[in-house]
Amino acid sequence: MNINQTRINYVDICFGLCWGDEGKGKIVSFLSKKGQYNFVCRWAGGNNAGHTIYLNGKKYKTHLIPSGVFFGIPSIIGPDCVINQKGFQEEINYLNENGFDTQLIKVSPKAHVITDSHIEEDNKKYFKTQGTTGKGIAPCYRDKYGRNGTRAESIDYFKKYLWDEKIYGNVLCEGAQGFWLDINYGNYPYVTSSTTLPYGACSLGFSPKIIRHIYGAAKIYDTRSGKDPLFPESLMESISLTNVGLKGEEYGTTTGRKRTINWLNLDKLINAIKLSGTTDIIISKVDILEELKEFHLIYNQKQNTYQSMSEMQIFIQTTINSLCPLVNKIYFSSNKEIVENFEF
């Protein structure tokens, strides 16, 4: 394949439309294995995120390293990411042990380094009060924007991984967390410390004008890891929602924490779609509600109930199509076959 190594043809972006844990890893995996991308890139966050990849019947997990490494694609940790040496090395070891080529992994010299003191501060100040992952993310970003941080380029350990800051051809960007955890749009201060919206991917070094598709991931119900008044503890008392969580195996990839469950908030979903410019939507885990015979969502701040998943899907699709003119396609999928039958 002849590639112009100075020109980007197009950029596709996959990100979460909700509060994280929407199945982005499976979507990126599906897109990556088609062999159409020259790079897969992360644009923000650190090892506070989690991606689950299924490959040849086996499940793999990463927290910072982009999913392209599983498919032999150069994988970039971008300039607006934050990186902890110990956590990064653990992922490198894990990938090496499982036979993946870690020479494909590159780190932006401008990415900031999470220190032990950042982690200690996070656990003392924010872990319990704001439900952070305790990975030192917030203190690291504070020092970055206070112009008092440490960049990867100044640490000897990272020198062999440093990226030359060049991307070309076809690029896939994978998001971390979700829209409603964004530092600006989330329920502040119960948010992450970076930009989760697709425009943040431009920090990798490309114009927004060459973005081709924005794939937005959601589930047929909402979940939230960590603390948030929008997901009060009273939701845990609902037998129906508890059953959804059990059936859907809703536990955080990074923390292992039990996620709080609520019915899909279509108001929030539509807002996220419109503000992000999402073009293609993948709504997964419809089989979970089908098995439980529970068909509910929140719209216009009221709970709607439907007689079947088909009726509920028609309402979701009709409503989104009427309010979100940039959307081209909406896919509904089961937990096991999240995107395999779809044509992107």
List residues with catalytic annotation: 21, 51
Phi, psi (degrees; rounded to nearest 5) at 50: -150, 135
Total residues found in the chain within this entry? 344
**CA–CA separation, 344 vs 341, rounded Å?**
10
DSSP secondary structure letter of residue 204: G
- Among 46, 45, 52, which Cα is nearest to 21's? 52
**CA–CA separation, 216 vs 253, rounded Å?**
19
- Among 250, 178, 132, 252, which Cα is nearest to 18's? 178
**CA–CA separation, 173 vs 212, rounded Å?**
11
* Cβ atoms 316, 265 nearer than 8 A: no
Task: Name every residue whose Cβ is closer than 8 Å to that of residue 164 and which is 6 or more positions away in sequence.
Answer: 106
